[in-house]
Amino acid sequence: MQVYLPIAEVSVNAFLLLGLGGIVGILSGMFGVGGGFLMTPLLFFIGIPPVVAVATEANQIVASSFSGVLAHFRRRTVDIKMGVVLQVGGLIGAGLGVVVFNYLKSLGQVDLLVTLCYVVFLGIVGTLMFIESLNAIFKSKRAGSGPAPRRQRGWVHALPFKMRFRTSGLYISVIPPIMVGVAVGILAAIMGVGGGFIMVPAMIYILGMPTKVVVGTSLFQIILVTAFTTMLHATTNYTVDIVLAVLLLVGGVIGAQIGTRIGVYLKAEQLRILLALMVMLVCAKLGLDLLLMPDELYSLGAAGGH
Amino acid sequence: MIRFARLASSLAIITLLGLAPSAQALEEEVVLGLSQDRVAITADFDGSEILIFGAVKRETPIPKGPPLQVIVAVSGPSSPVTVRRKEKKLGIWVNADSVIVDSAPSFYAIATSAPFQEVISDTEDLRYRVSITRAIRSVGAAMNIENAQDFADAVVRIREDEGLYSLRENTVAVDQQTLFRSAIDMPSDLTEGQYTARIFLTRSGQVVSSFETDIDVRKVGLERFLYSMSREQPFLYGLMSLAIAVVAGWGASAAFRLLRQ
């Protein structure tokens, strides 16, 4: 069944969009990532104009994250206090990110920067997580049982403005979470993603939060930041396609529910190694696109607007 | 009296000279019919086919010589396009040079009754801007870039691949040098606007008559409503998008809880 998208001005198969939404939704629920880093490139691939894909994806992430976070709320695996602190940083970051984005747009190299951002961040995050998860799996096998204590005492604990985050069992300064929020917010606005794939490892490795609350808290934080991004895109670029968003999110919210339940049956290390593999796969694909000679050297864009 | 006659005859000559080209053009004239003069883009729009048919009106017998040929060209609204070319820099492929093509139609389909080269001469093509390459204007192409024509060619190549530009030879049927018909496929990825259908009658490559009519391509119903809202009430539109997202997220979560119980 073909559907004509009013803002994107292309006609696409509705079931294809539902399916894509569903698959990405499952991953979103399992890993606590918005799934934007997978969905945005997939939308480019099926012919949605990039500006529309990025803006609409933000709206879809709101839906799948909201669906996912409700399940986590019931299981009490959301650190609301930490989430709010991250959101404060996230909003500042998203605002900064839009400024940076528009500046790069005026230079005409925004596509390259977005792709480079993807390759660099997905590459680093994916590789680190993969190595760490492998180590954790080997360690837990050797030790027999019991999760290895992962509580670093470093620069994070030496900073002022300490705050108690009871759900996470942390007593740390608010500066690192805000910094993480800002950094993820900037990247989210530039890359058109929720930023979960960076947020999740940052929470685990920098803030030292327990894996159990990381997923729910990440989803909680993503909702507000992507809602903010959606509004920015809708009011400045008019690029949010509501029909596309509805089709993606119907698949997405159902997928997220399934994914959250699958996530319960998997061990944290297994979850992380799967996420790491996926992140590395997307990174490799985007990296190859930069390195290999493209079939079509030329590309078209609307003049004037950019 | 003689003077008057001379004046009259010279006037007649002037009038004849002035009218000569148009008088010749009027010998054969297009009478056109369209299966539809508007295309409504609805939510389930999946492309459209426009039948273009017509007759040649003439007062005199069919002229001898090469047969009458017909060209049908449908074009979408034109807009400037930035064309970027990738180059390998520091090992990766990045956008380097760019050229702004002043005006390129969003859609362009040509149907002819014979191979294009036989139907219209190069000078006439230049004059009426019929062929795809001629329909694209890149007057102000930057002088500092070599092979600016490559950029214009790229527009044609990319849009041909996307099915937006097409030249279909031998797809106009001409009967008895009088009746003609053709069908133009409009793809599903249409943009809104005023489309133009042009019909040219040619003999030995010369245009003997042409006719132009508009086809209105518009979003209707829900498509129209959402599009207008996103432009006129962007804040409300954004809030609506978010509300739908939150409700859908909550709905799916609630539905799954019910399913599990």
Residue A252 clears pLDDT 60, i.e. is over it: yes
Residue A11, domain extent: 2-145+153-290
What pTM, to 2 d.p., does this model score? 0.73
Whether residues B168 and B48 share a domain: the answer is yes
> How many domains in chain A?
1
Which chain B positions have a beta carbon within 8 Å of A2's beta carbon? 44-46, 188
Cβ distance of A234 and B188 shorter than 8 Å? no
Which chain B positions have a beta carbon within 8 Å of A108's beta carbon? 84, 95, 98
Residue A298 domain flag: no
Whether residues B214 and B227 share a domain: the answer is no
Cβ distance of B252 and A231 shorter than 8 Å? no
Whether residues B227 and B211 share a domain: the answer is no
Cβ distance of B188 and A292 shorter than 8 Å? no
Query: Cα distance from A69 to chain B (closest Cα, Å)?
Result: 9
β-strands B38-41, B206-219 pairing: parallel
Whether residues B182 and B235 share a domain: the answer is no
Per the listing, tokens 């148009």 go with B22
Residue B58, domain extent: 24-218
Residue B2 domain flag: no
The model's pLDDT over A85-121, given as tens digits with 9 standing for 90+, comes to 888 998 898 888 877 877 776 666 767 777 788 788 8
- pLDDT at residue A156 in the model: 63
Which chain B positions have a beta carbon within 8 Å of A3's beta carbon? 43-44
Give the span between the Cα atoms of A203 and A152, in whole angstroms: 12
Structure letter (DSSP) for residue B222: H
Q: Judge whether A201 and A180 are in contact, CB under 8 Å.
A: no
Residue A261 domain flag: yes
In this structure, of A93-102, A211-220, B8-17, B199-208, the range with the lowest mean pLDDT score is: B8-17
Exposed e or buried b for every residue in B102-117, given b needs 16+ CB within 10 A?
bbbbbbbbbbbbbebe
Whether residues B51 and B63 share a domain: the answer is yes
Neighbouring-strand partners of residue A171 = A164
Exposed e or buried b for every residue in A154-163, given b needs 16+ CB within 10 A?
eebeeeeeee
Per the listing, tokens 């996912």 go with A68
Which chain B positions have a beta carbon within 8 Å of A244's beta carbon? none
Residue A304 domain flag: no
Q: Judge whether B216 and B37 are in contact, CB under 8 Å.
A: yes
Mean per-residue pLDDT for B188-202? 87
Q: Give me A28's structure tokens.
A: 């979103």
Whether residues B62 and B82 share a domain: the answer is yes
CA-nearest of A284, A62, A7 to B249 is: A62
Residue B39 clears pLDDT 80, i.e. is over it: yes
Whether residues B129 and B233 share a domain: the answer is no
Whether residues B80 and B173 share a domain: the answer is yes
Instruction: Using CA coordinates, name the residue in chain A closest to B46.
Output: A2
Query: Cα distance from B138 to chain A (closest Cα, Å)?
Result: 13
Q: Judge whether A194 and A34 are in contact, CB under 8 Å.
A: yes
Residue A300 domain flag: no
Q: Judge whether A165 and A176 are in contact, CB under 8 Å.
A: no
> How many domains in chain B?
2
Residue B98 domain flag: yes
Residue B17 domain flag: no
Whether residues B123 and B102 share a domain: the answer is yes
Whether residues B120 and B224 share a domain: the answer is no
% helix / strand / coil in chain A, to the nearest 5? 70, 5, 20
Cβ distance of A10 and B189 shorter than 8 Å? yes
Residue A301 domain flag: no
